[in-house]
Copies of this chain bind each other. A is one copy, B any other.
């Protein structure tokens, strides 16, 4: 295993330390229990809190800041954060208007966020993100997995919260964005979890895993490598079958790299997917291309489509100032 690390036990702490040191005006870290929060805490809005295993950066810590999250709780690599982190983070960012948890659908995350939720005296709600159409059940999941569509949920709910939406409105909006969003990914290589020191799964030199999860979980099928346009057809086919958008609808198209695929290829994927959406009579009016929901060093990418309304488009366009998204 070749990684930039010093000690397996300090990977997360050193990485978070570097992130905060690189963005001192934006975020701060607290350790034990560990969470990232805004350097300038908000004072009168619904607090948005997310979290999950590390190794998916910039998700979620890179999305803490004005217009998006108030705090993020990182677990160890591919390991759920614990309820004490969530309680400490929630207590730190609560302004009295309630706390919304945004949780990707994995059994461990869900259990720990539910436990925190039950222990909290705060007004609390949870949006469960399950945008991955690849499989109905997976290694760590009952029901569909939450993957790159989480960015859309956190951005849009983040904008609404910043604009003064109530906890109930934020919760309903989060569910709405999740319903309007579908994703599917493909892996070319495995990722390598530092503590394991070896590839999570084996894959041949000409094989791809269609529908892979963001921890290297199996997808729908193993195939031979094929042209990008055909991969896009398969991924978008599954996504559109799920979303069933009407012709003429405006959509947001997100091409998400898993960490080991260069930008040149991500933009080529965007080119194919954008043309394909137009051929389906859809209108991709908003875009996001880059490494946002990663799986450590895995080569591969996912496509995410969100069917827009005027409201969702306006929430997407609202100002955001985080380490990973800024406009």
Contact = CB atoms under 8 A, between A and B. Distances in A.
Pick from A4, A15, A17, A62 the residue with the most CB of B within 10 Å. Answer: A4
Contacts of A62: 263
Interface in A182-241: 188-189, 205-206, 208, 225, 227-229, 231
Given A229-B6, A231-B4, A297 B21 contact: no
A166 interface: no
The count of identical subunits is 2
Interface residues of A, number: 59
A279 interface: no
Interface string A10-28: 0100111111011100000
A193 to B, nearest CB: 11
Given A18-B274, A271-B21, A287-B22, A2 B264 contact: no
Nearest to A205: B2
Given A260-B260, A262-B297, A267 B2 contact: no
Contacts of A208: 2
Contact of A18 (B14, B77, B267): B267
